[in-house]
Amino acid sequence: MKIVTIIGARPQFIKAATISRLINGNNDINEVIVHTGQHYDSNMSDIFFKELIIPKPYYNLGIGGGSHGQQTGLMLIEIEKILFKEKPDWVLVYGDTNSTLAGALAASKIHIPVIHVEAGLRSFNMRMPEEQNRILTDHISSVLFAPTKVAVENLAKEGITSNVVNVGDVMYDAALFYGELAGKNSNALNDYGLYVGNYILTTVHRAENTDDTDRLKRIFSQLEEIARVEKVILPLHPRTKKALEGIDYDFGNSTISFINPVGYLDMVALEKNAKMIITDSGGVQKEAYFHKVPCLTLRDETEWVETVEAGCNHIIVDLSTIVKQYEKLTKQTLNFDKNLYGKGNCAQLIINYLRDNLS
């Protein structure tokens, strides 16, 4: 069986790596990895692939930037060429990026069945490009690997019930694997003068927060207040830095400890050892749960409703209450023992299904 895997952003490489490592040891499956180039990342060097034990892509399309339509259209053209050349039995896509949708559309239109990993996630916010991408991809996929029971239920509500398999979350596999690797290979805590449980890790990068001046000011005003009593460390995303410079933010007198963006293993180490995480990232809020760290999410909704229902993740709709919610969360005793995302064997379950049902 031959599979073409389409990925376009660093988080997708992390997800794909958990499955690709097992495929490499399976003579029944031949995988060709295509990187669309959707997110340029200077950290994705040879060291990145070697350090994280990730197979390098066979194709790199270099399609980054531009509008959503332009980007997706160019990807469609180039991916279709590759599919005609490689003639795979299946196309495998992950998550909800433009690369995900382009890969699924290119395959579906020439009648190559699509496998979607992370199927069934819903924010119910159709203004999000990611929501549009994931819904469209789910409806043209032939096999849907869902990460949670809620995701399966979401698909059923939309009439998708065939070949839907709840395998757990592939990112939980990654968290376990790379968490152990980070413990051995990351010096992040020493590099930044941190200790286990003595700092708040913060990330802010989503356009809804950086591009809205009022939201941005409220977020950083609240973070400054927390940073007067707790060490707040914030890897500064280029988009966020530019936005803060646009409002004349006083970096010199800030109580927040800003650092440059960090590599994946260092980020895992910072997540694992934090007292709390404050973020607007979908991936980071879920990884907080994996690493048993309380989380405040700076968004109006989340795809990971299970973490909220478990009381371990609080959605901050009113940004003026970040300090209040932080103080409240520090006093709570949380239970991270619920088996929300599988047993950390998602990749193996997917491989078993591919081998037993699709060969």
By annotation, the residues acting in catalysis are 205
Q: State how far the Cα of 286 lies from the Cα of 302, in Å rounded to an integer.
A: 10
Helix 170-185 to helix 346-353 angle (10° resolution) is: 130
CA distance readout (Å), 167 to 92, 310, 352: 15, 20, 11
Tell me, what amino acid is at 100?
T
CA distance readout (Å), 4 to 29, 52, 90, 144, 297: 11, 21, 7, 16, 34
Strand ranges, E, within the chain: 2-7, 30-35, 59-60, 90-94, 114-117, 143-146, 164-166, 199-203, 231-235, 257-259, 276-279, 295-297, 313-315
Are the C-beta atoms of residues 34 and 4 closer than 8 Å to each other? yes
In three-state secondary structure terms, 54 is: coil
- Which two tokens mark 197? 């449980």
| 49 C-beta neighbours (distance < 10 Å), count | 15
CA distance readout (Å), 174 to 135, 166, 169, 192, 338: 24, 17, 9, 24, 18
- Counted residue by residue, the chain has a size of 359
Are the C-beta atoms of residues 312 and 334 closer than 8 Å to each other? yes
